């Protein structure tokens, strides 16, 4: 694979390499343009009118991002009590939050319910029993298993009830004194095919037609992709598939339509900035060592077997002019698996002290980052077009 040789058009102008050259923060740091986050939110709403985004905060729970989205009108989706507490800290009402983790600790269910959260997902009889005990009378929405084979991170093995199970689970919820409220699904993180949403909406429609209860909510989940290097469907393309599917494939239109975008709203807003610690040649292979690695920011490179391409640029004044060579790009730790990229094109002149800019790094970098081997996570830095946020 090779990195792009020009800064991509989707790289925020506020984070262009010539701008980053003036940032004084020590590396590694993740710099995020909050205006890009707000712009992505509004574009999402325009492409899927009537579908309210509930941000999946697991991909980046920085308070600055949460406040930006709250101010724009977003709802939120949580997977734990800890995430709910983060939202409460910035003033988000728990009643406006969805708890979409299908399997939850009982203590989290009870505490979330006590705080005023009233909508919980489930995908099994055991989870219904848990919710009925610890959050009696709550509204529940069923997580469906759908085709996620065209996504970077499939989720269907871990979560989701099958279509034949759905109607009985909704009836069981009612018998337990819970309110059968809706359906949700997830077509897999970084989904690359717009037809995935249409197929999932069709499955939801079949269940709605079979169930002997009128459901209030359809939640079309997450999976909306962001641009890295490979082309992905634009949100307008996805909207052009989803909106007709809702009209054509559902027996009735639920009064509440929601979605749970995460990566789509924040990935392209962030650039991870690292410094070259060393350059070596080993068995005719060029290596550069950065002060950020898989364990303190770039874990998704390992999760994908080092196949995920990120847009890369450097601080070299001759970047784009010098010849390029293939490099293996690795992290600072003593772990040999702490290697992010193989065979990427970088300037042949790159040297220790130069900086490498990793684009589209706003999602799952800070969330996954650890202090493994004593190397710190990236420092968060925020701008809002005109200057520091």
Residues classed as catalytic = 334
Tell which phi-psi region holds residue 166, choosing left (phi > 0), alpha (psi between -120 and 50) or beta.
alpha
Instruction: Provide the 8-state DSSP code for 377.
Output: P
- In the numeric block, the tokens 């359809």 are attached to 218
Cβ-based neighbour number of residue 314 at 10 Å: 21
Identify the bridge partners of residue 364 per DSSP, sorted by sequence position.
Answer: none
Pairing mode, strands 270-282 and 256-259:
unpaired
Rounded distance between C-alpha atoms, residue 365 and residue 361, angstroms: 6
269 exposure class (CB count in 10 Å sphere: 0-12, 13-18, 19+): buried
Contacts of 197 (CB under 8 A, 6+ apart): 187, 191, 220, 223, 238, 241, 242, 245
Cβ-based neighbour number of residue 117 at 10 Å: 25
How wide is the angle at C-alpha 138 spanned by C-alphas 132 and 144, nearest 5°?
Answer: 85
Rounded distance between C-alpha atoms, residue 316 and residue 269, angstroms: 22
Q: What is the CB-side half-sphere exposure of residue 296 using CA atoms within 13 A?
A: 26
């Amino acid at each position: 694979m090779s990195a792009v040789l020009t800064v991509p058009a989707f790289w925020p102008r506020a984070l262009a390499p010539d701008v980053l050259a003036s940032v004084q923060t020590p590396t590694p740091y993740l710099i995020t343009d909050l205006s890009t986050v707000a712009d992505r939110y509004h574009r999402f709403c325009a492409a899927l009118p009537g579908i309210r985004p509930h941000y999946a905060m697991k991909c980046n729970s920085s308070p600055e991002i949460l406040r930006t989205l709250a101010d724009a009108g977003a709802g939120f989706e949580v997977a734990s009590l800890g995430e709910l507490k983060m939202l409460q800290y910035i003033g988000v009402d728990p009643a406006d939050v969805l708890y979409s983790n299908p399997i939850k600790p009982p203590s989290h269910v009870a505490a979330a319910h006590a705080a005023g959260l009233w909508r919980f997902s489930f995908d099994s009889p055991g989870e219904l029993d848990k919710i009925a005990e610890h959050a009696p009378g709550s509204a529940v929405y069923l997580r469906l298993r759908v085709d996620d084979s065209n996504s970077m991170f499939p989720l269907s093995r871990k979560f989701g009830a099958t279509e034949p199970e759905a109607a009985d689970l909704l009836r069981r919820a009612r018998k337990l004194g819970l309110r059968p409220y809706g359906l949700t699904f997830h077509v897999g993180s970084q989904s690359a095919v717009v037809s995935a949403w249409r197929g999932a909406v069709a499955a939801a429609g079949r269940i709605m037609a079979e169930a002997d209860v009128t459901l209030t909510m359809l939640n079309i989940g997450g999976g909306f992709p962001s641009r890295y290097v490979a082309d992905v469907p634009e949100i307008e393309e996805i909207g052009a598939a989803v909106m007709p599917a809702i009209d054509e494939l559902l027996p009735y239109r639920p009064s509440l339509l929601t979605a749970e975008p995460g990566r789509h709203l924040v990935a392209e807003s962030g650039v991870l900035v690292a410094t070259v610690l060393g350059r070596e040649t080993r068995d005719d292979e060029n290596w550069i060592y950065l002060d950020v690695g898989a364990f303190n920011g770039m874990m998704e490179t390992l999760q994908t077997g080092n196949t995920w391409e990120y847009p890369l640029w450097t601080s070299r004044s001759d970047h784009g002019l010098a010849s390029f060579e293939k490099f293996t790009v690795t992290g600072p730790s003593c772990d040999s698996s702490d290697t992010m990229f193989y065979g990427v094109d970088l300037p042949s002149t790159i040297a220790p002290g130069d900086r490498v800019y990793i684009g589209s790094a706003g999602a799952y970098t800070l969330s996954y980052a650890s202090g493994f081997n004593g190397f710190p996570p990236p420092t968060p830095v925020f701008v809002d077009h005109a200057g520091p946020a």
